Amino acid sequence: MLNYKNRIFLSLLALSILPSCNNQPEAKTEIGQSSLSTVAIPQTGVRDQGRLGICWAYGTTALIESELLRTKNIQADISEEALAFEHMAEALRAQFAKMTSWDLVDFMMRGQLPEGWATRTTKELASMYEDSPHVQHDALALIKIHGAVPESAWSFKIKTIQEKDQLVRAVRENIRRTLAEGLIIQKLTIEQIKDLILVGRYGTAFPSRPPSYFQWQGEFTTARDFAAGYLNFNPDAWEAIAISKEEDIPSFVQGVKETLARGHSVPLAFPINIDRISGDTFRADTPSKDYSWSSYGRDGGHLVLVTDFMNKGGTRGAVSQATLNDELNKPASELDALLFKNSWGIGAKMNEKGQPVGMSPDGYYRMEAGYILGISKIPAATRNPWAVTLAVVPREIANAHIDLTGGSR
């Protein structure tokens, strides 16, 4: 079983950002279904995160949408950028509070927006940020605190590098204007940062704040009531398991497979190796590979939603319950690949960094078991924070596969 020391924390979830014009109920989204289906878990359509690095938001909202579709047959389109907005406000407040005058000048020249983390993470990973004691690095917790907003109520997409650069420049300019008005940046509250920095007096950055109160299906509701009532999703029912070494793989894979077999999708955070992406597949490395941070994590991290698994020799297409039970009981060494719903859109794509990331005709990708093995083999001395792989599963499954107190099981 995995022996991971500290309790796992949630990381970041997403908001969406334009004011609603007509406040109509959200449009139905197309249900996505892949050709690889050992299990058949209903999914909403594939999204495209554009040029903002908020894959964590897209993966987490995709989980909630899938759960709603599975349990109530209701389709939702949750605004990812909206919760990202809330995270940015918290992260900027923490950064500003520690800045010297020279730090502030440097930020106004080349500072970037804090874009995010993962659905859930560990204390060890969160500690890489100096602001970690003050910022909620927790996607599901952000929804619990701030609620959620449908795309029809607020949406703001950054589709090009130029649009992202324009947004960052506008935020820097808002800092200059705030200083010119005699306010001390280091003492701004979160609400002031939202109004003065992220939006600005003229709406030159984000056009507005995500609404905390809006009309939904003919009735007015709050973002928190929308999340707790309509979405009916309990963040506390989910926990994270991790791979930090090769010996963790069997328990990790079994936890993911058990979750899928119960009908739940699985948010998965992992390090990117662009060289191993071919078409719609994250391919295994060669067995003799000299594993290091330079090969995994060099290209950053990513978060996706795992929707299925297939063992070696498995068949494509739906399987019987008896076959599913057989596939579930096979050891991790028999895993061929995980299938996941990505947030890079459909077809040939660049990711948020402008890197080529293969091509998927339906927006779904495969991760070969050997890719997971490659991540686990990175020596601890060469790891960067993205060299750990995390999966978010129901808490009862996590408790069976991880020791939250640090002791062995």
Dump pLDDT digits (tens) for 316-360: 667 788 888 888 889 999 999 999 999 998 886 677 777 777 789
Nearest-angstrom CA–CA distance, 395 and 399: 6
Most confident of 10-19, 207-216, 242-251: 207-216
Closest alpha carbon to 252 in 268, 276, 264 = 268
Query: Residue 403: is its pLDDT beyond 70?
Result: no
State the pLDDT at residue 386: 55
Q: Map 117-180 to HEC letters.
A: CCCEEEHHHHCCCCCCCCCCCCHHHHHHHHCCCECCCCCCCCCCHHHHHHHHHHHHHHHHHHHH
d(CA 130, CA 28): 41
Residues 200 and 285 in one domain: no
117 and 194 co-located in one domain: yes
- Centroid of chain to Cα 240: 13
Answer whether residue 26 shows pLDDT above 50. no
Residue 381: the pLDDT is 60
Q: Residue 42's closest CA among 65, 19, 70, 15?
A: 70
Model pLDDT, residue 138: 75
Hey, is 375 helix, strand or coil?
A: helix
**Domain presence at residue 285:** yes
Statement to judge: residues 265 and 380 lie in one domain: yes
Residue 148, both tokens: 């959620």
Answer yes or no: is 295 within a domain: yes
Tell how strand 120-122 and strand 8-10 pair up.
Answer: antiparallel
Q: Express each pLDDT in 255-278 by its tens digit.
A: 999 999 999 999 999 888 888 888
- pLDDT digit string (tens) for 298-311? 677 889 999 999 99
Is residue 307 located within the same domain as residue 221?
no
- Classify residue 377: in a domain, yes or no: yes
DSSP assignment of 254-292 equals HHHHHHHHTT--EEEEEE--GGGEETTEEPPPPTT----
Over range 92-105, report the average pLDDT. 90
Domain boundary among 230, 248, 264: 230
Among 311, 333, 120, CA closest to 247 = 333
Shared-domain flag, residues 202 and 250: no
Q: What is the pLDDT of residue 34?
A: 44
3 state DSSP class of 231: coil
Domain boundary at 181, 197, 230, which? 230
So what's the pLDDT on residue 30? Answer: 44
> Closest Cα partner for 99 from 135, 127, 131, 137?
131
| Confidence tier at 406 by pLDDT (50, 70, 90) | very low
State residue 72 phi and psi, 5-degree precision. Answer: -125, 0
Residue 99 lies in a domain: yes
Are 37 and 43 in contact, with CB atoms under 8 Å apart?
Answer: no
Same-domain status, 356 and 297: yes
> What pLDDT does residue 13 have?
26
**Final residue belonging to a domain, choices 230, 246, 269:** 230
Higher pLDDT, 119 or 33: 119
Same domain assignment for residues 211 and 359: no
Same domain, 62 and 187: yes
> Is 47 domain-assigned?
no
Residue 127: C-alpha distances to residues 121, 141, 315 (Å) = 10, 17, 43
Domains identified in the chain, total number: 2
Q: Which of 58-67, 128-137, 283-292, 370-379 has the highest mean pLDDT?
A: 58-67
Helices 55-72 & 80-97 angle (0-180, nearest 10): 140
Q: Are residues 200 and 282 in the same domain?
A: no
In degrees rounded to 5, what are phi and psi of residue 383?
-70, 145
Average pLDDT over residues 232-261: 90
Residue 17 counted as domain residue: yes
**Tell me, what's the pLDDT at 37?**
67
Each residue's pLDDT tens digit, 159-212: 888 999 999 999 999 999 999 999 999 999 999 999 999 999 888 899 999 998
Tokens, residue 280: 């719609």
What's the confidence (pLDDT) of residue 392?
Answer: 92
**Residue 319 resides in a domain:** yes
Model pLDDT, residue 118? 65
Higher pLDDT, 208 or 32: 208
Residue 88 lies in a domain: yes
- Tell me: do 332 and 199 sit in the same domain: no
The rounded mean pLDDT for the chain is 80
Which of the two residues, 94 and 120, has the higher pLDDT score?
94
Residue 393 forms beta bridges with which residues? 239
Across the range 374-390, mean pLDDT stands at 70
Looking at the fold, whether 276 and 373 belong to one and the same domain comes out as yes
To which H or E segment does residue 356 belong? strand 356-360
Amino acid at 20: S
Q: The domain containing residue 188 runs over which residues?
A: 8-28+52-230
Q: Are residues 131 and 261 in the same domain?
A: no
